Amino acid sequence: MTAQTLAELAALVGGEVSGDGSLLVTGVAPLEEAGPGQVSFFANKKYRAAFEASKAGAVVVARDQAAGGGRSLLRSSNPYLAFARISTLFNPAAVAVPGISARAEVDPTARVDASAQVGPLVSVGPGAVIGPRTVLHPGVQVGAGARIGADCLLYQNVVVRERCVLGDRVALQPGCVIGSDGFGYALDMEGEGQGPRHFKIPQAGIVVVEDDVEVGANTCVDRATLGVTRIGRGAKIDNLVQIAHNVEVGPLCIVAGQAGVAGSTRMGMGVAVWGQVAINGHIEIGDRVNIAAQSGVAHDVPAGQRVAGLPAIDERRWARNAVAFGRLHELRRDLRDLMRRVAKLEEEEKP
C-alpha cells in the first residue's frame, strides 16, 4: 500500500478531517507508538493520556471528540469501523500463491482449484474440494469429501473432518477443529453381559459453516448426530469455544472466548455470547439476545433480552442482586439482630 493523504482516507471512510488534510499517511499504529506519518485511534476514555501524548500524525475519533491540541483528527460517526477500514488498506489480507506443495498429500480424487494454495504438510482426503484462492497453511488436515469454498483461509494445524462444508470467505484460526464427533452415548446397563457401558451413538451428521464466518484458535465445532450443526452466515466465534452437535448458531452471532453451547440449541440472528458463558442444550436463544460473561443459560431466552448470572436472569435484576450479594453476610447479621429485637418486643407485649 502506497501512502495516502489524510483527506483521501477521510473521503474513503466517509469521515471529516479536522487539521491537515494533506498529511501523507503511510500506516497505522497504536497511540503510544505512532509517528507523524501514521494514523492512530482513540475512543475509550481510559486511554486519554495516551491520546494526548501521542505523536501520531492523525487520530481517528468520534464526531463529538474535542480538538486534540493541534493534532489532526479524522472524525467519524463510526470511528471504530473507519479505523478498521483504514487499517485494512495498510494491512491487506494475504493473497493465495497458487500451487500445491510437493510436501502436501492430496488424494488423486480430490479437486483443488488451480488458484488455491496448499502448503506443505497438508492432507486433502479423497473426494474433498478446495475452492478458488483458498489458502491451506502447513499442517491443515482436510478429511474425505469435505468441501471448502472460495477465498477461505485455514491457518496452521486446522482440522476439517470428513464431509463437512465451508462456504466462501471462511477463516479458521490455528488448531480449530470442524466436525469432531458430538458427545453422545446411551447408557447400556447390561453391556452384552459385560456390565454397564456408555454405548456410542454414531455421529453421522456434518458441520456446515456458512459464508463469511470466522472461527477462533483451538475452537471445536462438533458434527451433528444426524443432520447438520450449522454456523450461520457472518457469525464470528472466538478461541477455545465449544459448539456441540446439532447446534445452530445464527447469522451474525458473536461468541466470545471459552463459551460453550450444548447440543441442539438454536441461536437466532445477532446473538452476543460473552466469555465463558455456558448455554444449555435443547433451548432457543432469540435474535439479538445479549448474554453477559460467565453466565449460565438454562432456559429459552426471548429475542432482544439481556441476561446475566448463573442461572441467567434479566441483566439489571442480576446487577442489583449482585450488589446485595456483596453485603449478604451483613444482611444476615442484621436479620438475626432483628429477630432478637422482635422477640423482645413480643415478650413485652404479653399481658
Q: Is 280 in the site for its own copies (CB under 8 A)?
A: yes
* DSSP three-state, residue 314: strand
DSSP state of 55: -
Alpha-carbon gap, residue 74 to 237, rounded angstroms: 31
Cα-to-chain-centroid distance, residue 49: 30
How many of the chain's residues bind its own copies (CB under 8 A)?
115
- Helix then strand count (H, E) for the chain reads 5, 40
Catalytic residue among 137, 198, 245, 299: 245
CB of 306 within 8 A of CB of 289? yes
Single residue of 9, 170, 177, 206 touching its own copies by CB under 8 A: 177
Using the rule CB under 8 A, give the single segment among 52-60, 63-71, 109-117, 118-126 that binds its own copies: 118-126
132 — phi, psi (to 5°)?
A: -60, 140
Q: Which is nearer to its own copies, 91 or 109 (CB)?
A: 91
Single residue of 157, 168, 303, 306 touching its own copies by CB under 8 A: 157
* DSSP three-state, residue 207: strand
Q: Which is nearer to its own copies, 302 or 325 (CB)?
A: 325
Single residue of 26, 87, 115, 305 touching its own copies by CB under 8 A: 87
Q: Is 141 in the site for its own copies (CB under 8 A)?
A: yes
Smallest distance from its own copies to CB 121, Å: 5
Q: How far, in Å, are 102, 135, 151, 163, 196 from residue 113 at the CA level? A: 16, 11, 11, 18, 50
Q: Which is nearer to its own copies, 116 or 240 (CB)?
A: 240
Within 8 A by CB and 6+ apart from 274, the residues are 256, 259, 290, 291, 292, 293, 294, 295
Tell how strand 284-285 and strand 153-154 pair up. unpaired
Q: Is 183 in the site for its own copies (CB under 8 A)?
A: yes
Q: Is 186 in the site for its own copies (CB under 8 A)?
A: yes
Q: Is 32 in the site for its own copies (CB under 8 A)?
A: yes
329 is catalytic: no
Of residues 42 through 71, those in contact with its own copies by CB under 8 A are 44, 46
Single residue of 128, 256, 267, 301 touching its own copies by CB under 8 A: 256
Residues labelled as active-site residues: 245
